[in-house]
Amino acid sequence: MIRKTIFVFFVSLCARAVPAQPADVINEYINTYRVLAIEEMKRVGVPASITLAQGILETEAGRSELVRKSNNHFGIKCKSAWAGDKVYHDDDEAGECFRSYDDPATSYRDHSDFLRTGARYAFLFNLSPTDYKGWAHGLKKAGYATNIRYPQILIRLIETYNLQQYTLIALGKLPPLADAPVLVAAALRNEQPVAPPPVSYPEGTFSINETKVCFVRGGSSLLAVAENNDISLARLLEFNDMTPGEGDILMEDQLVFLQRKRKTGAALFHQVQPEENMYDIAQAEGIRYESVLELNNLRPGEEPAVGERIYLKERNPAKPQLAAAGVAQARGETPVMTGNGNAYTTHTVQVRETLFSICKKYNVTEQQLKNWNRLTGTHLRQGQQLIIYTN
Protein backbone atom coordinates (compact mmCIF):
# COMPACT_ATOMS: atom_id res chain seq x y z
CA MET A 1 0.00 0.00 0.00
CA ILE A 2 2.87 2.33 0.83
CA ARG A 3 4.54 1.57 -2.52
CA LYS A 4 1.34 2.37 -4.42
CA THR A 5 1.03 5.71 -2.62
CA ILE A 6 4.62 6.61 -3.51
CA PHE A 7 4.02 5.71 -7.16
CA VAL A 8 0.91 7.86 -7.42
CA PHE A 9 2.77 10.74 -5.81
CA PHE A 10 5.60 10.34 -8.36
CA VAL A 11 3.15 10.46 -11.27
CA SER A 12 1.61 13.59 -9.80
CA LEU A 13 5.03 15.23 -9.58
CA CYS A 14 5.74 14.32 -13.23
CA ALA A 15 2.45 15.80 -14.33
CA ARG A 16 3.23 19.07 -12.56
CA ALA A 17 6.77 19.13 -14.02
CA VAL A 18 5.34 20.59 -17.25
CA PRO A 19 4.27 24.18 -16.50
CA ALA A 20 0.88 25.00 -18.00
CA GLN A 21 0.90 27.83 -20.51
CA PRO A 22 -2.07 30.03 -21.48
CA ALA A 23 -3.78 29.08 -24.72
CA ASP A 24 -2.84 32.36 -26.38
CA VAL A 25 0.85 31.74 -25.63
CA ILE A 26 0.66 28.25 -27.14
CA ASN A 27 -1.19 29.55 -30.20
CA GLU A 28 1.48 32.20 -30.66
CA TYR A 29 4.16 29.49 -30.63
CA ILE A 30 2.19 27.41 -33.15
CA ASN A 31 1.68 30.34 -35.51
CA THR A 32 5.37 31.23 -35.33
CA TYR A 33 6.82 27.79 -35.97
CA ARG A 34 4.17 25.83 -37.89
CA VAL A 35 5.84 26.60 -41.24
CA LEU A 36 9.12 25.17 -39.99
CA ALA A 37 7.35 22.02 -38.80
CA ILE A 38 5.66 21.59 -42.19
CA GLU A 39 8.90 22.19 -44.12
CA GLU A 40 10.79 19.73 -41.93
CA MET A 41 8.14 17.07 -42.44
CA LYS A 42 8.46 17.53 -46.20
CA ARG A 43 12.25 17.32 -45.97
CA VAL A 44 12.69 14.43 -43.56
CA GLY A 45 9.33 12.88 -42.65
CA VAL A 46 8.84 13.66 -38.95
CA PRO A 47 5.10 14.48 -38.58
CA ALA A 48 4.54 18.22 -38.22
CA SER A 49 2.03 17.59 -35.42
CA ILE A 50 4.66 15.74 -33.38
CA THR A 51 7.33 18.37 -34.01
CA LEU A 52 5.06 21.20 -32.88
CA ALA A 53 3.80 19.33 -29.83
CA GLN A 54 7.38 18.52 -28.79
CA GLY A 55 8.40 22.14 -29.32
CA ILE A 56 5.52 23.43 -27.19
CA LEU A 57 6.28 20.97 -24.41
CA GLU A 58 10.06 21.26 -24.39
CA THR A 59 10.12 25.09 -24.50
CA GLU A 60 7.05 25.81 -22.34
CA ALA A 61 5.61 27.32 -25.55
CA GLY A 62 8.76 29.37 -26.16
CA ARG A 63 9.09 30.69 -22.61
CA SER A 64 11.63 28.32 -21.04
CA GLU A 65 15.03 29.47 -19.83
CA LEU A 66 16.77 26.89 -22.05
CA VAL A 67 15.18 28.06 -25.30
CA ARG A 68 15.78 31.72 -24.46
CA LYS A 69 19.52 31.20 -24.04
CA SER A 70 20.16 28.49 -26.64
CA ASN A 71 17.36 28.39 -29.28
CA ASN A 72 17.14 24.68 -28.35
CA HIS A 73 13.47 23.88 -28.96
CA PHE A 74 13.63 20.15 -28.31
CA GLY A 75 15.81 19.71 -25.26
CA ILE A 76 18.49 17.83 -27.23
CA LYS A 77 21.53 17.22 -25.06
CA CYS A 78 25.11 17.45 -26.31
CA LYS A 79 26.20 13.80 -26.24
CA SER A 80 29.65 12.84 -27.47
CA ALA A 81 29.04 13.48 -31.19
CA TRP A 82 28.05 17.15 -30.78
CA ALA A 83 30.80 19.59 -31.84
CA GLY A 84 28.70 22.79 -31.88
CA ASP A 85 28.04 25.45 -29.25
CA LYS A 86 26.85 24.34 -25.82
CA VAL A 87 24.97 25.66 -22.82
CA TYR A 88 24.53 24.13 -19.37
CA HIS A 89 21.14 23.75 -17.77
CA ASP A 90 19.60 21.81 -14.89
CA ASP A 91 17.41 18.98 -16.15
CA ASP A 92 17.47 15.35 -14.96
CA GLU A 93 20.73 16.31 -13.28
CA ALA A 94 22.32 19.63 -12.38
CA GLY A 95 24.36 21.43 -15.04
CA GLU A 96 23.67 19.12 -17.99
CA CYS A 97 25.09 19.98 -21.40
CA PHE A 98 22.60 21.03 -24.11
CA ARG A 99 23.11 21.91 -27.76
CA SER A 100 23.00 25.62 -28.60
CA TYR A 101 21.86 27.03 -31.96
CA ASP A 102 22.13 30.35 -33.75
CA ASP A 103 18.44 30.37 -34.66
CA PRO A 104 15.24 28.29 -34.27
CA ALA A 105 15.40 26.98 -37.84
CA THR A 106 18.74 25.29 -37.12
CA SER A 107 17.25 23.72 -34.00
CA TYR A 108 14.30 22.36 -36.00
CA ARG A 109 16.63 20.92 -38.64
CA ASP A 110 18.82 19.28 -36.04
CA HIS A 111 15.77 17.78 -34.33
CA SER A 112 14.61 16.25 -37.62
CA ASP A 113 18.06 14.89 -38.44
CA PHE A 114 18.51 13.64 -34.87
CA LEU A 115 15.41 11.47 -35.24
CA ARG A 116 15.94 10.49 -38.89
CA THR A 117 19.53 9.31 -38.44
CA GLY A 118 19.21 7.82 -34.96
CA ALA A 119 19.10 4.02 -35.09
CA ARG A 120 16.79 3.75 -32.08
CA TYR A 121 14.20 5.98 -33.78
CA ALA A 122 14.29 4.18 -37.15
CA PHE A 123 11.12 2.17 -36.42
CA LEU A 124 9.09 5.37 -36.12
CA PHE A 125 9.48 6.08 -39.84
CA ASN A 126 7.64 2.84 -40.62
CA LEU A 127 4.53 4.30 -38.96
CA SER A 128 2.03 6.36 -40.91
CA PRO A 129 2.85 10.07 -40.50
CA THR A 130 -0.79 10.59 -39.50
CA ASP A 131 -0.44 8.12 -36.60
CA TYR A 132 0.47 10.75 -34.02
CA LYS A 133 -0.42 8.45 -31.13
CA GLY A 134 1.97 5.79 -32.40
CA TRP A 135 4.71 8.39 -32.80
CA ALA A 136 4.09 9.83 -29.33
CA HIS A 137 4.29 6.43 -27.63
CA GLY A 138 7.21 5.41 -29.87
CA LEU A 139 9.29 8.42 -28.83
CA LYS A 140 8.87 7.47 -25.18
CA LYS A 141 9.65 3.81 -25.96
CA ALA A 142 12.85 4.85 -27.75
CA GLY A 143 13.99 6.83 -24.71
CA TYR A 144 13.51 10.37 -26.03
CA ALA A 145 12.07 11.59 -22.71
CA THR A 146 12.06 10.41 -19.10
CA ASN A 147 8.63 11.80 -18.21
CA ILE A 148 6.35 8.74 -18.02
CA ARG A 149 3.41 10.89 -19.21
CA TYR A 150 5.29 12.22 -22.25
CA PRO A 151 3.09 10.45 -24.86
CA GLN A 152 -0.15 11.55 -23.21
CA ILE A 153 1.00 15.16 -23.03
CA LEU A 154 1.96 15.22 -26.72
CA ILE A 155 -1.34 13.62 -27.72
CA ARG A 156 -3.33 16.11 -25.63
CA LEU A 157 -1.51 19.06 -27.23
CA ILE A 158 -2.09 17.69 -30.74
CA GLU A 159 -5.80 17.14 -30.15
CA THR A 160 -6.43 20.35 -28.18
CA TYR A 161 -4.73 22.63 -30.71
CA ASN A 162 -5.56 20.64 -33.88
CA LEU A 163 -1.89 20.17 -34.76
CA GLN A 164 -2.79 17.27 -37.03
CA GLN A 165 -3.85 19.77 -39.69
CA TYR A 166 -0.20 20.70 -40.25
CA THR A 167 0.70 17.08 -40.92
CA LEU A 168 -2.11 16.91 -43.47
CA ILE A 169 -0.91 20.15 -45.09
CA ALA A 170 2.60 18.69 -45.45
CA LEU A 171 1.08 15.59 -47.07
CA GLY A 172 -0.87 17.74 -49.53
CA LYS A 173 -4.18 16.52 -48.12
CA LEU A 174 -5.14 20.03 -46.96
CA PRO A 175 -4.48 23.30 -48.82
CA PRO A 176 -1.31 25.20 -47.86
CA LEU A 177 -1.41 27.94 -45.29
CA ALA A 178 -2.68 31.16 -46.81
CA ASP A 179 -1.15 33.37 -44.14
CA ALA A 180 2.05 31.45 -43.45
CA PRO A 181 4.66 33.73 -41.86
CA VAL A 182 7.91 33.93 -43.79
CA LEU A 183 10.03 34.77 -40.75
CA VAL A 184 11.10 31.25 -39.91
CA ALA A 185 10.59 29.73 -43.35
CA ALA A 186 13.10 32.11 -44.92
CA ALA A 187 15.88 30.74 -42.73
CA LEU A 188 15.05 27.23 -43.86
CA ARG A 189 14.45 27.72 -47.59
CA ASN A 190 17.48 28.53 -49.70
CA GLU A 191 17.81 28.40 -53.44
CA GLN A 192 19.82 25.21 -53.03
CA PRO A 193 18.45 22.24 -51.08
CA VAL A 194 19.62 21.76 -47.53
CA ALA A 195 22.34 19.12 -47.70
CA PRO A 196 21.77 16.16 -45.40
CA PRO A 197 24.39 15.39 -42.76
CA PRO A 198 27.27 13.20 -43.98
CA VAL A 199 26.33 9.55 -43.75
CA SER A 200 28.72 7.21 -41.96
CA TYR A 201 27.71 3.60 -42.45
CA PRO A 202 28.62 0.99 -39.82
CA GLU A 203 30.85 -1.99 -40.45
CA GLY A 204 29.21 -5.30 -41.29
CA THR A 205 25.51 -5.70 -41.98
CA PHE A 206 22.78 -3.30 -40.86
CA SER A 207 19.28 -2.32 -42.00
CA ILE A 208 17.87 0.42 -44.21
CA ASN A 209 14.09 0.47 -44.59
CA GLU A 210 13.95 -2.86 -42.72
CA THR A 211 16.17 -4.46 -45.37
CA LYS A 212 19.55 -6.06 -44.71
CA VAL A 213 22.41 -4.16 -46.33
CA CYS A 214 26.16 -3.63 -46.11
CA PHE A 215 28.49 -0.87 -47.28
CA VAL A 216 31.06 -2.12 -49.78
CA ARG A 217 34.16 -0.25 -50.93
CA GLY A 218 34.96 0.30 -54.59
CA GLY A 219 37.21 -2.40 -56.02
CA SER A 220 35.54 -5.14 -53.99
CA SER A 221 34.25 -8.35 -55.53
CA LEU A 222 30.47 -8.71 -55.62
CA LEU A 223 30.92 -12.47 -55.86
CA ALA A 224 32.85 -12.40 -52.59
CA VAL A 225 30.12 -10.31 -50.97
CA ALA A 226 27.50 -12.80 -52.15
CA GLU A 227 29.47 -15.82 -50.93
CA ASN A 228 30.21 -14.23 -47.56
CA ASN A 229 26.47 -13.74 -47.06
CA ASP A 230 25.34 -17.15 -48.36
CA ILE A 231 23.45 -15.86 -51.41
CA SER A 232 24.06 -16.30 -55.11
CA LEU A 233 25.64 -13.57 -57.21
CA ALA A 234 22.54 -13.53 -59.43
CA ARG A 235 20.31 -12.82 -56.41
CA LEU A 236 22.68 -10.13 -55.14
CA LEU A 237 22.57 -8.36 -58.50
CA GLU A 238 18.77 -8.65 -58.57
CA PHE A 239 18.46 -7.20 -55.06
CA ASN A 240 20.50 -4.17 -56.16
CA ASP A 241 18.82 -3.51 -59.53
CA MET A 242 21.90 -4.69 -61.39
CA THR A 243 22.30 -7.06 -64.33
CA PRO A 244 24.85 -9.86 -64.82
CA GLY A 245 26.50 -7.80 -67.55
CA GLU A 246 27.74 -5.24 -65.02
CA GLY A 247 30.62 -7.46 -63.98
CA ASP A 248 31.92 -8.58 -60.61
CA ILE A 249 34.05 -5.68 -59.35
CA LEU A 250 32.38 -2.59 -57.89
CA MET A 251 33.62 0.59 -59.53
CA GLU A 252 32.94 2.73 -56.43
CA ASP A 253 31.82 2.68 -52.81
CA GLN A 254 28.21 1.56 -52.65
CA LEU A 255 25.45 0.20 -50.45
CA VAL A 256 24.82 -3.42 -51.38
CA PHE A 257 21.50 -4.93 -50.30
CA LEU A 258 21.42 -8.54 -49.15
CA GLN A 259 17.63 -8.82 -49.34
CA ARG A 260 15.05 -7.64 -51.84
CA LYS A 261 14.35 -3.95 -51.31
CA ARG A 262 10.85 -2.73 -50.48
CA LYS A 263 8.34 -1.09 -52.81
CA THR A 264 7.99 1.99 -50.60
CA GLY A 265 10.46 3.91 -48.45
CA ALA A 266 10.61 4.59 -44.73
CA ALA A 267 10.53 8.39 -45.15
CA LEU A 268 7.88 10.37 -47.00
CA PHE A 269 10.24 12.15 -49.38
CA HIS A 270 13.82 12.39 -50.57
CA GLN A 271 15.19 15.70 -51.76
CA VAL A 272 17.49 15.35 -54.75
CA GLN A 273 21.06 16.41 -54.00
CA PRO A 274 23.76 17.53 -56.46
CA GLU A 275 25.23 14.68 -58.55
CA GLU A 276 22.55 12.29 -57.30
CA ASN A 277 20.48 10.17 -59.68
CA MET A 278 17.44 7.97 -59.22
CA TYR A 279 19.52 4.84 -58.76
CA ASP A 280 21.46 6.55 -55.96
CA ILE A 281 18.16 7.50 -54.31
CA ALA A 282 16.77 3.98 -54.62
CA GLN A 283 19.87 2.59 -52.90
CA ALA A 284 20.04 5.26 -50.20
CA GLU A 285 16.38 4.78 -49.25
CA GLY A 286 16.21 1.00 -49.63
CA ILE A 287 13.48 1.09 -52.28
CA ARG A 288 13.30 -0.76 -55.60
CA TYR A 289 14.42 1.27 -58.59
CA GLU A 290 11.32 0.50 -60.66
CA SER A 291 9.08 1.31 -57.68
CA VAL A 292 10.54 4.76 -57.01
CA LEU A 293 10.28 5.54 -60.74
CA GLU A 294 6.62 4.49 -60.78
CA LEU A 295 5.77 6.50 -57.65
CA ASN A 296 7.19 9.62 -59.30
CA ASN A 297 5.87 9.17 -62.86
CA LEU A 298 9.38 8.77 -64.26
CA ARG A 299 10.74 6.53 -67.00
CA PRO A 300 14.12 4.79 -66.89
CA GLY A 301 16.78 7.32 -67.80
CA GLU A 302 14.80 10.37 -66.66
CA GLU A 303 16.60 12.20 -63.86
CA PRO A 304 15.00 14.86 -61.62
CA ALA A 305 16.52 18.28 -61.08
CA VAL A 306 18.48 19.07 -57.93
CA GLY A 307 16.14 20.09 -55.12
CA GLU A 308 13.12 18.18 -56.44
CA ARG A 309 11.12 16.17 -53.92
CA ILE A 310 10.97 12.43 -54.68
CA TYR A 311 7.97 10.65 -53.16
CA LEU A 312 8.79 7.40 -51.37
CA LYS A 313 5.48 6.26 -49.85
CA GLU A 314 2.68 7.63 -52.04
CA ARG A 315 2.37 8.46 -55.73
CA ASN A 316 3.66 11.90 -56.62
CA PRO A 317 0.71 14.03 -57.79
CA ALA A 318 2.99 15.58 -60.41
CA LYS A 319 6.08 14.56 -62.32
CA PRO A 320 9.28 16.07 -60.85
CA GLN A 321 11.02 18.71 -62.89
CA LEU A 322 13.74 17.00 -64.90
CA ALA A 323 17.38 17.99 -64.88
CA ALA A 324 17.92 20.93 -67.22
CA ALA A 325 19.58 20.51 -70.60
CA GLY A 326 22.30 22.84 -69.38
CA VAL A 327 23.21 20.34 -66.69
CA ALA A 328 23.50 17.59 -69.28
CA GLN A 329 25.75 19.74 -71.43
CA ALA A 330 27.93 20.58 -68.45
CA ARG A 331 28.41 16.84 -67.97
CA GLY A 332 29.50 16.41 -71.59
CA GLU A 333 26.19 15.26 -73.07
CA THR A 334 25.97 17.18 -76.35
CA PRO A 335 23.24 16.45 -78.92
CA VAL A 336 24.65 16.11 -82.46
CA MET A 337 23.00 15.40 -85.85
CA THR A 338 24.67 12.99 -88.28
CA GLY A 339 24.64 13.47 -92.03
CA ASN A 340 21.70 11.08 -92.46
CA GLY A 341 19.62 12.95 -89.89
CA ASN A 342 20.15 10.58 -86.94
CA ALA A 343 20.63 12.41 -83.65
CA TYR A 344 23.11 11.18 -81.09
CA THR A 345 24.47 12.35 -77.76
CA THR A 346 28.05 12.27 -76.58
CA HIS A 347 28.08 11.20 -72.96
CA THR A 348 31.09 11.60 -70.69
CA VAL A 349 31.28 8.86 -68.07
CA GLN A 350 31.08 10.31 -64.56
CA VAL A 351 32.23 9.01 -61.20
CA ARG A 352 29.99 6.15 -59.96
CA GLU A 353 28.42 5.54 -63.38
CA THR A 354 28.18 2.04 -64.81
CA LEU A 355 27.12 0.63 -68.14
CA PHE A 356 23.84 -0.38 -66.53
CA SER A 357 23.09 3.05 -65.05
CA ILE A 358 23.90 4.83 -68.35
CA CYS A 359 21.60 2.50 -70.27
CA LYS A 360 18.83 3.21 -67.78
CA LYS A 361 19.42 6.93 -68.08
CA TYR A 362 19.00 6.93 -71.87
CA ASN A 363 16.50 4.06 -72.03
CA VAL A 364 18.69 1.97 -74.33
CA THR A 365 19.92 -1.63 -74.10
CA GLU A 366 23.40 -2.66 -73.06
CA GLN A 367 23.92 -4.38 -76.40
CA GLN A 368 23.03 -1.18 -78.27
CA LEU A 369 25.50 0.82 -76.21
CA LYS A 370 28.21 -1.79 -76.77
CA ASN A 371 27.56 -1.90 -80.54
CA TRP A 372 27.57 1.89 -80.92
CA ASN A 373 30.86 2.20 -79.02
CA ARG A 374 32.51 -1.11 -80.01
CA LEU A 375 32.72 -2.21 -76.40
CA THR A 376 33.75 -5.80 -75.72
CA GLY A 377 33.15 -5.74 -71.96
CA THR A 378 31.28 -3.79 -69.30
CA HIS A 379 34.17 -1.89 -67.73
CA LEU A 380 34.03 1.91 -68.12
CA ARG A 381 36.50 4.55 -66.98
CA GLN A 382 35.78 8.05 -65.72
CA GLY A 383 36.00 10.58 -68.57
CA GLN A 384 35.37 8.00 -71.29
CA GLN A 385 33.26 9.34 -74.21
CA LEU A 386 30.24 7.27 -75.30
CA ILE A 387 27.98 7.78 -78.31
CA ILE A 388 24.24 7.24 -77.68
CA TYR A 389 21.78 7.49 -80.56
CA THR A 390 18.53 9.19 -79.62
CA ASN A 391 16.31 8.42 -82.62
- In tens, the pLDDT along 194-213 reads 455 556 678 889 988 989 99
Cα distances from 96 to residues 79, 289, 372, 378, 380, in angstroms, run 10, 45, 65, 57, 54
Per-residue pLDDT band at 13 (split at 50, 70, 90): very low
| pTM of the entire predicted model | 0.49
Residue 226 has what pLDDT?
A: 93
Q: What are the residue ranges of helices labelled H in 244-365?
A: 278-285, 289-295, 325-330, 355-362
Strand partners, 269: 311
Residue 211, C-beta contacts closer than 8 angstroms, at least 6 positions apart: 257, 259, 260, 261, 262, 286
Residue 108: pLDDT over 80: yes
Number of neighbours of residue 65 by Cβ within 10 angstroms: 12
Residue 310 has what pLDDT?
A: 93
Residue 60: pLDDT over 90: no
Residue 11: pLDDT over 80: no
Write the pLDDT tens digit of every residue in 259-302: 999 999 988 888 888 878 888 899 999 999 999 999 999 987 77
257 or 76, which is more confident: 257
Share of the chain above pLDDT 70, in %: 78
Per-residue pLDDT band at 309 (split at 50, 70, 90): confident
* Cα 314 from chain centroid (whole Å): 15
Domains and CATH numbers, the chain: 16-69+105-188 (1.10.530.10), 205-311 (no CATH), 325-389 (3.10.350.10)
| Amino acid (1-letter code) at residue 40 | E
